[in-house]
Amino acid sequence: MSQLAAIFALALGAWAHARGLGALSNELGWSQAPHAIAADQSNADDAVLFDAKTLARIRQHSPRPAPPADPTNRVADDPRAALLGQRLFFEKRWSRNGEISCATCHDPERAFVDAKPLGEGLTKLERHTPGLLDVAYNRWFFWDGRADTLWSQALGPFENDAEMGGTRVGAAALIASDENLRADYTALFGAPPDVGDAARFPRDAKPSDSNAAANALWLAMRADDREEIDRAAANLAKCIAAYERKLITGPSPFDRFVEGLEDGDPEKLGALSPSAQRGLALFVGKANCRLCHSGPSFSDGEFHSIGVAPLAGPPPRDSGRHAGAKLVREAPFNAASRFSDAPDGDVAQRLATVRSGPEMWGEFKTPSLRNVGRTAPYMHQGQFATLEAILHFYSTMEGALAVGHHQETVMQPLKLDETELADLVAFLRSLDGADVAEELKRAPSGG
Ligand code: HEC
Ligand code: HEC
Ligand 2 atom with minimal separation from the 414 CA? 38
Mean pLDDT calculated for residue range 56-65: 98
- Closest residue to atom 16 of ligand 2, CA basis: 379
The residue whose CA is least distant from atom 13 of ligand 2 is 366
Q: CB-hemisphere CA count at 13 Å for 219?
A: 9
Q: Is the CB of 106 under 6 A from ligand 1?
A: yes
Ligand that comes closest to the CA of residue 244: 1
3-state DSSP assignment of residue 75: coil
d(CA 64, CA 82): 22
pLDDT in tens, 247-303: 999 999 999 999 999 999 999 999 999 999 999 999 999 999 999 999 999 999 999
> What ligand is nearest to the CA atom of residue 424?
2
* Number of the ligand closest to the Cα of 292: 2
Residue-level pLDDT at 39:
43
CA 72–ligand 1 middle distance (angstroms): 20
pLDDT band at 2 (very low <50, low <70, confident <90, very high): very low
User: Does the Cβ of 149 fall within 6 Å of ligand 1?
Assistant: no
For residue 161, which phi and psi values (nearest 5 degrees)?
A: -70, -15
Q: Is the CB of 132 under 6 A from ligand 1?
A: yes
Give me ligand 1 centre to Cα 156, in Å. Answer: 8
- Please name the fold of domain 79-248: Cytochrome Bc1 Complex; Chain D, domain 2 (1.10.760)
Read off the pLDDT of each residue in 345-365 and give the average, rounded to a whole number. Answer: 93
Domain residue ranges in the chain: 3-65+250-284, 79-248
The verdict on the CB of residue 306 being under 6 Å from ligand 2 is yes
pLDDT of residue 33: 40
State the distance from the centre of ligand 1 to the C-alpha of 439, rounded, in angstroms: 21
List the one residue out of 151, 334, 115, 106 whose CA is nearest residue 245.
151
Higher pLDDT, 151 or 23: 151
Give yes or no for residue 26 having a pLDDT over 70. no
> In this structure, are residues 377 and 129 in contact, taking their beta carbons and an 8 Å threshold?
no
Ligand nearest to the CA of 135: 1
What is residue 406's predicted lDDT score, i.e. its pLDDT?
A: 57
What's the pLDDT score for residue 404?
64
Which pTM value belongs to this model? 0.91
Atom of ligand 2 nearest to the CA of 410: 1
pLDDT at 13 over 80: no
Q: Render pLDDT for 136-185 as a digit per residue (tens, 0 to 9).
A: 999 999 999 999 999 999 999 999 999 999 999 999 999 999 999 999 99
